[in-house]
């Protein structure tokens, strides 16, 4: 019965381990996806900053040449729009970094739980092996003692001791 319980616990632990492995793989793929997304956002942010820098340079040249104020206002509007986009992108990147750190933390927790499950499974396997060995030993003992316990028939010796001394009994037995 104990062996069956141990094997059932082992099967449940193995099933839990499999589920955790699947969850861990999903977390890893999600982490990779988030890292790629953050990387694309960082690249887009660099592109927007470069575009903003070029527009600021263009605006300075326009102001030096005293060009049309409408075109200067247009460029300034583009610069402020880019600044808003960059600011929004910074916020989204920060949020994605937080999500990424949370996922990494969850993954580390799953890895630790997975390690503990591995250790538990190994312990349960050892216990099952020990219980199997004890079971085999008990079977052997039962077989050994059942073969030994066949009743031996002993013959009883009757002696009529009335009025006989120990010396007379010994002499009678010798005859």
Is residue 125 within 8 Å of residue 63, measured between CB atoms? no
- Chain segment 60-107, per-residue pLDDT in tens: 888 777 767 778 888 889 999 999 999 999 999 999 999 889 988 988
pLDDT value, residue 46: 94
Q: Is the pLDDT of residue 148 over 80?
A: no
- pTM for the model stands at 0.57
Q: What is the pLDDT of residues 25-52, one digit of tens each?
A: 898 898 899 899 989 999 999 999 999 9
At residue 26, φ and ψ (nearest 5 deg) are -65, -40
Q: Which two tokens stand for residue 47?
A: 């592109």
User: Can you state the angle between helices 69-148 and 2-65, rounded to 10 degrees?
Assistant: 170
């Amino acid at each position: 019965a104990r062996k069956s319980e141990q094997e059932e616990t082992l099967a449940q632990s193995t099933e839990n381990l499999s589920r955790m492995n699947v969850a861990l793989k999903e977390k890893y793929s999600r982490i990779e996806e988030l890292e790629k997304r953050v990387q694309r956002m960082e690249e887009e942010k660099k592109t927007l900053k470069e575009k903003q820098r070029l527009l600021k340079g263009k605006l300075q040249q326009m102001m030096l040449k005293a060009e049309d104020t409408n075109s200067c206002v247009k460029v300034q509007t583009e610069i402020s729009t880019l600044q808003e986009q960059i600011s929004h992108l910074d916020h989204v990147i920060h949020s994605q970094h937080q999500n990424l750190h949370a996922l990494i933390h969850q993954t580390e927790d799953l890895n630790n739980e997975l390690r503990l499950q591995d250790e538990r499974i190994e312990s349960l396997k050892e216990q099952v092996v020990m219980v199997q060995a004890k079971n085999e030993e008990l079977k052997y003992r039962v077989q050994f003692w059942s073969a030994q316990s066949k009743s031996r028939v002993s013959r009883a010796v009757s002696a009529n001791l009335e009025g006989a001394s120990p010396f007379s009994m010994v002499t009678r037995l010798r005859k």
